[in-house]
């Protein structure tokens, strides 16, 4: 098995405070080719990058590469109990990831197959 190291450049926007709340926006994060192993980091051990009005839009999340090995992974703060998912919300194959108990969207993950992101599967998600 050949493992390729990939470095992702992620720009974190500061929240812009408006009179009625925060300006809503999103960061678009795109996977490399099917043989890359990408980690989409949504936060640190201190908390999530995406709370409130912002979220990440992850395109072409590759759950498995051409060889059938695990490829991309979502990296989230905390544990699986902090989140819940909705599969197929919108168009195509996607999974929305929300904070548990709220409708606070953390990420929309577009996968290349009809598989949803499983918060309890270490092949899909890593917690920090």
Structure confidence by residue, pLDDT tens digits, 26-78: 888 887 666 677 889 998 888 888 888 789 998 878 776 666 666 788 999 99
Among candidates 104, 37, 113, 112, which has minimal Cα distance to 75?
Answer: 37
Question: Considering the entire predicted model, what is its pTM?
Answer: 0.73
Asked if residue 30 belongs to a domain, the reply is yes
Report if residue 85 sits inside a domain.
yes
Residue 11's pLDDT band, with cuts at 50, 70 and 90, is very low
Residue 34 lies in a domain: yes
9 found inside a domain: no
Q: Is 66 exposed, middle or buried (0-12, 13-18, 19+ CB in 10 A)?
A: exposed
On whether residue 6 sits in a domain, the answer given is no
Q: With bands split at pLDDT 50, 70 and 90, how would you rate the model's confidence at 3?
A: low
- Please count the structural domains in the chain: 1
In a domain, 1, yes or no: no
Could you tell me the residue range of the domain that residue 51 belongs to? 17-127
% of the chain with per-residue pLDDT over 90: 20
């Amino acid at each position: 098995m050949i493992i390729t190291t990939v470095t992702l450049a992620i720009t974190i926007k500061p929240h812009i405070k408006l009179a009625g709340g925060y300006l809503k926006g999103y960061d678009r994060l795109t996977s490399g080719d099917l043989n890359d192993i990408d980690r989409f980091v949504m936060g640190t051990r201190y908390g999530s990058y995406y709370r409130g009005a912002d979220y990440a839009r992850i395109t072409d999340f590759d759950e498995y590469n051409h060889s059938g090995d695990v490829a991309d992974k979502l990296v989230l703060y905390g544990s699986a109990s902090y989140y819940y998912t909705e599969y197929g919300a919108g168009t195509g194959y996607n999974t929305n990831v929300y904070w548990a108990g709220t409708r606070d969207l953390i990420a929309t993950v577009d996968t290349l197959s009809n598989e949803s992101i499983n918060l309890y599967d270490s092949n899909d998600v890593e917690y920090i």
